[in-house]
Amino acid sequence: MERWAELAATGGTPSFAVGAPAEGPTFDVETETVDGMHSVSRIVPPPAGEAERTAMRSLVRSLLDLAGHEAGPARTQVVLTVAGPKVVACSLHE
């Protein structure tokens, strides 16, 4: 994760994926970032409840902050595990 954040902060176009699969339903979280402000444009498929939606949005925004992502779209794959949402992949776009 730290290497991914370093690459993003230095202007690279990073992609991130974890090696071990997480168990649970998978969601694609699409975001658009303008001047460091991350807006979640869509979550596919829509989560069942507001608590899940809120947790996924918070997790993805935190990841994008950590990466220093300032502008452009991103797509993040999140698995909703019994322990909560986990990022399994993320790709930033300019």
Query: CB atoms < 10 A from the CB of 51, how many?
Result: 9
Domain carrying residue 16: 2-92
CATH code, domain with 45:
3.30.470.20
Per the listing, tokens 């829509």 go with 46
Question: pTM of the prediction?
Answer: 0.79
Rounded to 10 degrees, what is the CA torsion of 4, 28, 33, 59?
-70
Name the domain count of the chain: 1
What is the distance between the terminal CA atoms of the chain, rounded to a whole angstrom?
Answer: 20
Which tens digits make up the pLDDT trace of 11-43?
A: 555 555 555 567 899 999 999 999 999 999 999
DSSP E strands, the chain: 15-17, 26-34, 37-44, 72-81, 84-92
